[in-house]
């Protein structure tokens, strides 16, 4: 009986959190940012990871509350720790740019989070990792190309452009100008300015 009561309590808590988060989203869409933030915060403090992510966004962009990157990082961390993929991406970016602790520890944790987010299909994480591995202190070109291709195949025109650069310069793949041209054309058709300039050149 105690177990059943506990289960009911958990379900009720989750349902309230979901309802508060939805109310927050609707309030944000209606332009009521303060109300939205309050709803997100109530749900986040109950441990709902989607609301924790939304609170992080509010703090990062100053929507419904004062802009506070440290608090944004805290809530992204909370959501990331319960495997919210977009929060993993945002928290990784926070760690690389603002996070506390040693650079090596932040770097290692950020890369792990970015790879988790990329595997979960977050295009932004795939694109970020692709460039990160290409331009790092010790470039890993094949690994970078793998992530750039994932992002490009998800429709990211900038990553498609970078894939073209890889084929043109032989980075992580055998040089192939025809293949480079194909990627530049696809990127340009999707509106990428750099790809259009590269085609003209």
> What residues contact 65, with CB distance under 8 A and at least 6 apart?
34, 37, 58, 59
Query: What pLDDT is recorded for position 7?
Result: 58
Give the residue extent of every domain in the chain. Answer: 122-200
Position 137 pLDDT exceeds 70: no
> What residues contact 159, with CB distance under 8 A and at least 6 apart?
123, 126, 127, 130, 148, 149, 151, 152
Contact 160, 152 (CB under 8 A): yes
C-beta atoms surrounding 54 within 10 Å: 27
For residues 41 and 192, give the distance between their C-alpha atoms in angstroms, rounded to a whole number. 38
Position 177 pLDDT exceeds 60: yes
Residues 74-125 pLDDT 10s:
999 999 999 999 999 999 999 988 867 777 788 889 999 999 999 999 999 9
- Report the candidate in 14, 92, 25 with the shortest Cα–Cα distance to residue 58: 25
pTM for this model (two decimals) = 0.82
- The topology under which CATH files domain 122-200 is 1.25.40
With a pLDDT cut of 90, the percent of the chain lying above it is: 77
Query: What pLDDT is recorded for position 159?
Result: 96
Confidence class for position 4, pLDDT limits 50, 70, 90: low
Query: What pLDDT is recorded for position 138?
Result: 73
């Amino acid at each position: 009986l105690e177990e059943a009561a506990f289960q009911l309590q958990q379900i009720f808590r989750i349902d309230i959190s979901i309802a508060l988060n939805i109310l927050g989203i609707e309030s944000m869409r209606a332009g009521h940012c303060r109300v939205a933030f309050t709803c997100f915060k109530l749900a986040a403090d109950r441990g709902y990871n989607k609301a924790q992510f939304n609170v992080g966004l509010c703090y990062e962009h100053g929507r419904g509350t004062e802009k506070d990157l440290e608090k944004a990082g805290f809530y992204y961390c909370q959501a990331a720790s319960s495997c919210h993929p977009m929060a993993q991406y945002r928290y990784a970016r926070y760690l690389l740019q603002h996070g506390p602790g040693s650079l090596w520890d932040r770097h290692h944790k950020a890369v792990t989070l970015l790879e988790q987010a990329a595997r979960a299909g977050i295009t932004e994480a795939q694109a970020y990792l692709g460039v990160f591995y290409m331009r790092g202190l010790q470039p890993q070109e094949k690994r970078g190309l793998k992530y750039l291709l994932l992002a490009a195949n998800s429709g990211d025109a900038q990553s498609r452009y970078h894939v073209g650069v890889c084929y043109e310069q032989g980075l992580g793949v055998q040089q192939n100008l025809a293949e480079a041209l194909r990627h530049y054309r696809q990127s340009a058709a999707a509106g990428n300015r750099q790809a259009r300039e590269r085609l003209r050149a």
